[in-house]
Amino acid sequence: MRYTLGIDTSSSDTLAGVVIDGKTIASDINTSRLKHPAKTKVSEFQDLSHDHLSYIGLVVEQAVLDAGITYDQLDAVCVTRGPGLASALETGLNFAKGLALGIGKPLIGVHHLEGHIYSPRLAQPFKDIEFPALVLIASGGATEFILMRGYGQYESIGGTVDDTVGETIEKIGKVLGFNYPAGPLMEQAAHVGNAVAYNFPRTVRGDEPQLSFNGLKLAVLSEITVASTGAAPKKPAAGAKRQLRADVSVNDVSASLQTAICELLSKRTAQIAQKTAVKEVLVVGGVAANQQLRQILTKQSPVPVRFPPIHLCTNNGVMIAAAGYAYLENGQSDSLDIGALTLWPLAELQSARQQSVV
Ligand code: KG4
């Protein structure tokens, strides 16, 4: 049995997990589970790395403890190298370097999105990815289609031309009164709402591998809001202050919006899967947790669709451990002088790794 530790500090959460043979979750820890209060108030940017600094030792130690192993039993230390905020990434990366050096085990720098792509493989029972596969990244940071011809081979073939699906949900969710993350709250409200109360646009034009959420967003906002000063103009001006109309049912809007988003995403994804003749579709990222998306896409897709376990749709350390294991198995690791890559297109993953491999 080979154990890989995965560390991710690319977002506001400090995350770590241990995976056995790249397939089985031995532990999965995040900051919120530790509930360790931050002590000092500092500026916003410092705050992120400061939080990571105060949590990282605890999170990693808990991950190793929960896995029922000692540090010596780890076979590699895998860590998110990018993309993300430099100060946040460097905290994780430097901790991982120190640990790898201390226990004499290889360091493996992982691309955050590659971690997400490995997350459906962590569903049980284990099943390898069948290539070529189409990956839909449906999150706040990205909404992108990737053609995957093999492990480590990623070709970005399209995605949103404006907002990501997560941004769309957050912007409308804010007007509906939902705090971040609005997606799970929208899903909850949609359960008791009427999905045909509003007929929000969900047209998918042509067959280019593109998505656009702007039309839907503007149509929803113009339907459910009024300008703060009075009646609703036909088209809300960009940046204008808007407020929810008093007669709007949040549950009905949530149900109708969720259905429109899921149909839009599913229709385009199914179309691309057909055109690219892939063997399967993998959907990853926060929005992949949505049950209606799972149902509609599974029904519309010409090939099987795989999703991560719900708890692995959002960021986690486990997926970094799983992605890193693939490199370990291949005899690849990184030198201890690699730096964080704040902007790191997935398509450039190979060249960045080749430069740093030891
Ligand atoms: O991948 P992710 O966790 O991180 C970012 O890329 O930021 O995605 C976050 C997005 C948020 O907009 C959140 O509201 C959305 O994923 N999300 C969901 C659900 N759970 C999280 N959207 C719809 N349904 C859900 N159940």
What digits encode the pLDDT tens for the residues 240-295? Answer: 577 899 999 999 999 999 999 999 999 999 999 999 999 999 999 999 999 999 99
- In this structure, what token pair is assigned to residue 136? 């839909």
Instruction: Give the pLDDT band (50/70/90) at residue 345.
Output: confident
Atom of ligand 1 nearest to the CA of 289: 26
- In this structure, what token pair is assigned to residue 225? 């809001």
Indicate if the pLDDT at residue 356 is higher than 70: no
Strand partners, 159: 144, 210
Listed residue (111, 47, 151, 27) closest to 356, CA to CA = 111
The Å distance, Cα 314 to ligand 1 centre, comes to: 7
**Which of 139, 172, 294 has most ligand 1 atoms within 8 Å of CB, for mutation?**
139
The Å distance, Cα 166 to ligand 1 centre, comes to: 6
pLDDT above 90 covers a percentage of the chain that reads 82
At residue 22, what are phi and psi to the nearest 5 degrees?
Answer: 70, 5
User: Is residue 136 within a helix (H) or strand (E), and if so which, with residue range?
Assistant: strand 133-138
- Supply the pLDDT for residue 245: 94
| pLDDT (average), residues 94-100 | 98
**Which of 168, 314, 315, 319 has most ligand 1 atoms within 8 Å of CB, for mutation?**
314
315 with 15: CB under 8 angstroms? yes
Q: How far apart are CA 241 and CA 256, in angstroms?
A: 23
Q: Any residues with Cβ below 6 Å from ligand 1, and which?
A: 139-141, 166, 169-170, 181-184, 187, 285-287, 289-290, 314-315
- Tell me which residue has its CA closest to atom 21 in ligand 1: 286
- Supply the pLDDT for residue 38: 45
Listed residue (203, 190, 141) closest to 291, CA to CA = 190
User: DSSP readout, 29-40?
Assistant: EEHHHHT-----
Beta-strand pair 3-8/74-82: parallel
3-state SS assignment for residue 21: coil
Return all residues near 298 (Cβ < 8 A) that are at least 6 apart: 305
- Supply the pLDDT for residue 39: 44
Atom of ligand 1 nearest to the CA of 315: 3
- Tell me which residue has its CA closest to atom 7 in ligand 1: 140
The Å distance, Cα 270 to ligand 1 centre, comes to: 21
Indicate if the pLDDT at residue 324 is higher than 90: yes
Strand partners, 242: 227
Beta-strand pair 210-211/153-160: parallel
Atom of ligand 1 nearest to the CA of 180: 14
User: Is residue 244 within a helix (H) or strand (E), and if so which, with residue range?
Assistant: strand 242-244
The Å distance, Cα 288 to ligand 1 centre, comes to: 8
Q: How far apart are CA 299 and CA 303, in angstroms?
A: 10
Instruction: Give the pLDDT band (50/70/90) at residue 81.
Output: very high
Indicate if the pLDDT at residue 36 is higher than 60: no
- In this structure, what token pair is assigned to residue 161? 């031309």
- Supply the pLDDT for residue 227: 82
pTM, entire model: 0.90
